[in-house]
Amino acid sequence: MKGISKLKCIRTSLSRCYTSTPNDSSSKALNPSALIDDFTRFCYQRDLLKAIKAMDAMQIHGLHADSITYSELIKCCLACGAV
């Protein structure tokens, strides 16, 4: 239960920290909430490759990362022994 609460807190923080700047080619397919949910879930599951791919997808769709995003990605790297 504690893990789910932490995940909701991270999700809320990430939602506030992204700005969307959709471009013409991706504005129809842009679903910021789903992209952020995917990134958060992959970081929480410590699936580094999927988290990096999700972050790339967010950037492609105009969602720019901030310090919270990078912090979660670094935690994922540490948990996976990538650093």
Going residue by residue through the chain (83 aa), what tens digit of pLDDT does each one get?
A: 444 454 455 555 554 444 444 444 444 456 888 999 999 999 999 999 999 999 999 999 999 889 999 999 999 999 989 87
Separation CA 11–CA 42 (nearest Å): 12
What pLDDT shows up at residue 20?
A: 44
Rounded to whole angstroms, the maximal C-alpha distance in the chain is 41
Radius of gyration of the chain (CA): 13
Q: Is position 22 within any domain?
A: no
pTM over 0.85: no
Please check whether residue 3 lies inside any domain of the structure: no
Whether 83 is covered by a domain: the verdict is yes
Please report, for residues 16, 37, 57, 63, 74, the alpha-carbon distance to residue 31 in angstroms, rounded to integers and kept in the order given: 15, 10, 11, 10, 24
In a domain, 80, yes or no: yes
In a domain, 44, yes or no: yes
